[in-house]
Chain A
Amino acid sequence: MPNKPLIEARGVVRHFGHVQALRGADFSVRQGEIVGLIGDNGAGKSTLIRILSGTDRPNEGEILVNGQVVRFNGPQDARGAGIETVYQDLALAPDLDAAANIFLGRELLRPGLLGKLGVLDKSKMDRLTGDAMARFGVKIRSSTEVFTLSGGQQQSAAVARAAMWATSAIFMDEPTANLGVRQTEGVLDLIRRVRDAGTAVVVISHNLPQVLEITDRIFILRLGRTVGQVASSKASVDDLIRAMMTGEFRGEMT
């Protein structure tokens, strides 16, 4: 492969008491690609994402960022490594405006004494939010409260926030669940633009036709193990379902 994986998981094991959530999962994503992560309920997708985004820790196995083994002791460590996650619930504060949400937990303060007193630099945050929205083609004003946005727009705002801060990768859990057709198209376009900008994107989804449409590669998890990865252009929905259910894949595995 031309470029090395940006983020890689090797032999990740995670158990909760007697429950084996992950029994040896492998995963990788390179710069400028969209990777799908699929599997039946309980296959370990969410656990793997939680581990890669720092909210959970593996019992065994290792995580590599840019070829270096890393240990995430919390989401802030993953964030420090340039990894952002968009959860299904979006984690937006509905009463706050778009700019306040984009900068939630990362507020910019005014320079000098005012900053020491905790005074926010609202105009700068508004401007940077406007810039980011323009860059990703998201038509949301910085001053718009999030609760006034449609579902698709809220999803776009959450993706734009992740894209603004991610320097290496974005994980997205069911990014188009509960969206209409047009809204889904808007969000998928946004995901492609983020990928084109050089950020690695990982999508978890149950919507297999959509996964085939948008991703470059797909990892298939079954019962906590990675059963294989496949180039999206060389797989069909039936192939994916068979792999998810039986662990067998007809055709080319990379």
Chain B
Amino acid sequence: MIGPAKPIGGPTTAPELPRDESDGGSSFKSPLSVFRAQSTTIFLFLVLIALAAFFSVLRPDAFPTPGNAINMATNASVLLVLAVGSTYVILTGGIDLSINGVLVFSGVIAAMAMVALGGDNPLVLLVGLACGTAAGIAWGFLNGLLVAKAKIPPLIVTLGTMGMSLGFALLLTRGVDISDVPDSLVLTVGSGRVAGIPILVIITAAVFVIGTMILAYTRFGRYTYAVGSSPEACRRASIDVSGHLIKVYTLAGLLSGLAGYLSLARFATTTLGGHSTDNLQVIAGVVIGGTSLFGGSGGLIGTLIGIVIPVMLLDGFVVLGLPPFWQQVAVGAVLIIAVYFDQLRRQLRSR
């Protein structure tokens, strides 16, 4: 509309640049590349394989069996649903401590809705699902609003909403678990299998695949990385940073709600006291998986491995007859190492 449109001389008019400018083409050889996300993921995958091999060699009869694999997958599933949401949040440079509180609250709401409706049919199960996820969405939206609009640090916001959601769940139930869950929910979603694979694992796999596709291929995913990498660059590019943050926290809330429903189905009770360290386990998994606490880099493949490694360690220790408490020790140490490497990478970058 204004001034001349391109065309701008052909490539032939571009003079040679000084050497310093021309080394861009070979920057993939930079020593920083060993810290790149893909290398971290490959390294983690090798660690996972090594662990599996280690336990398999020590207990070939008990560890490398289909039953044990399914057991591990089931144990990882609720955590992984939470971790998909947390990966998005941490990629934006935030954190969500409220996921376990929201999980319990959503489970309570879903259970109460199904009890109130009475009966045991697919409609009741769907209403429970809708109420549980709606509760999760509401908490997530509140988190997003407080982080993006009120500019309160996410650590404080979600610490607050963790306490609030858990407190409300205890108030609603007067501290007594609701175990009056429809049998069909427990028998299908909770413990049912299709072709030998638990439905719980299938649902989790679907959530994981969709989450991975959105993150890798869509504008929503791109903005999630961009907002975490440089909010200022996004603002200058007219990206609605606050709006995106609200969406991301709401997504994490939605997935916490879904996880609450899955937990309800699996344990046939609201497990008020059973999720107190889920948030820490999830954040540890995401960070071990290579997603930077500073935001902007990482991904869900890493998160999958970061969640499975602790689950496999616990399973392996139990199979070997070691005290399972060693798992907490090992995961804690791995977490510290992972964050140390992340910091190292940042320091090298800003040099």
Q: Does A210 contact B (CB under 8 A)?
A: no
- B228: A residues at CB distance < 8 A: 95
- A107: B residues at CB distance < 8 A: 219, 222
Count A-B pairs with CB separation below 8 Å: 164
Q: Does A113 contact B (CB under 8 A)?
A: no
Q: Does B232 contact A (CB under 8 A)?
A: yes
- B234: A residues at CB distance < 8 A: 93, 104-105
- A82: B residues at CB distance < 8 A: 1-3
* Closest B residue, CB atoms, query A145: B36
Give chain B nearest CB distance to A177 CB in angstroms.
16
Q: What residues make up the interface of A, taking CB atoms closer than 8 Å to B? A: 6, 31, 65-66, 74-76, 79, 81-82, 87, 89, 91-96, 100-101, 104-107, 109, 117-120, 122, 134-141, 144-145, 147-150, 152-153, 156, 163, 167-169, 180, 182-183, 185-186, 189, 193, 196-200
- The contact of B25 among A81, A118, A141, by CB within 8 Å, is A141
Q: How far is the CA of A144 from the CA of B29 in the complex (A)?
A: 11
Q: How far is the CA of A120 from the CA of B221 in the complex (A)?
A: 10
Check B229 against A94 for contact (C-beta < 8 Å). Answer: yes
Check B17 against A186 for contact (C-beta < 8 Å). Answer: yes
* Closest B residue, CB atoms, query A100: B222
Give chain B nearest CB distance to A196 CB in angstroms.
7
A-B contact pairs, 13 of them (CB 8 A): A6-B3, A93-B226, A105-B234, A118-B214, A119-B218, A134-B11, A134-B14, A141-B28, A149-B24, A167-B3, A180-B20, A183-B18, A199-B3
Check A120 against B296 for contact (C-beta < 8 Å). Answer: no
Give chain B nearest CB distance to A82 CB in angstroms.
5
Check B226 against A104 for contact (C-beta < 8 Å). Answer: yes
Check B8 against A92 for contact (C-beta < 8 Å). Answer: no
Chain A to chain B: the 10 pairs with minimum beta-carbon distance, closest first: A137-B14, A105-B237, A197-B8, A95-B296, A93-B229, A95-B229, A186-B21, A118-B218, A91-B236, A140-B24
Check B21 against A138 for contact (C-beta < 8 Å). Answer: yes
Q: Does B220 contact A (CB under 8 A)?
A: yes
> What bracket does the count of chain B residues touching chain A fall in?
35 or more
Check A91 against B233 for contact (C-beta < 8 Å). Answer: yes
Given A94-B230, A134-B11, A148-B30: A186 in contact with B237 (beta carbons within 8 A):
no
Give chain B nearest CB distance to A43 CB in angstroms.
24
Check A66 against B349 for contact (C-beta < 8 Å). Answer: no
- A189: B residues at CB distance < 8 A: 15, 17
Within 8 A of A (CB), among B1-51: 1-6, 8-11, 13-25, 27-28, 30, 32-33, 36
Chain B interface main SS type: helix
- A122: B residues at CB distance < 8 A: 217
Check A104 against B17 for contact (C-beta < 8 Å). Answer: no
Given A75-B236, A92-B233, A118-B218: A135 in contact with B4 (beta carbons within 8 A):
no
Q: How far is the CA of A196 from the CA of B19 in the complex (A)?
A: 23
Q: What residues make up the interface of B, taking CB atoms closer than 8 Å to A? A: 1-6, 8-11, 13-25, 27-28, 30, 32-33, 36, 214, 217-220, 222, 225-226, 228-230, 232-234, 236-239, 296-297, 349
- A197: B residues at CB distance < 8 A: 6, 8-9
- A150: B residues at CB distance < 8 A: 20, 23
Check A198 against B22 for contact (C-beta < 8 Å). Answer: no
- The contact of B1 among A104, A134, A167, by CB within 8 Å, is A167
* Closest B residue, CB atoms, query A30: B3
* Closest A residue, CB atoms, query B9: A197
Known: A93-B296, A104-B234. 6 other contacts (CB 8 A): A81-B2, A91-B233, A94-B229, A94-B349, A148-B28, A183-B18
Check B3 against A96 for contact (C-beta < 8 Å). Answer: no
Check B2 against A167 for contact (C-beta < 8 Å). Answer: yes
Check A100 against B226 for contact (C-beta < 8 Å). Answer: yes
* Closest B residue, CB atoms, query A104: B237
Given A93-B229, A104-B226: A144 in contact with B27 (beta carbons within 8 A):
yes
Check A94 against B14 for contact (C-beta < 8 Å). Answer: no
- The contact of A153 among B8, B15, B24, by CB within 8 Å, is B24
Centre residue among B19, B234, B238 by max chain A CB count within 10 A: B238
- The contact of A136 among B2, B8, B220, by CB within 8 Å, is B8
Q: How far is the CA of A96 from the CA of B226 in the complex (A)?
A: 7
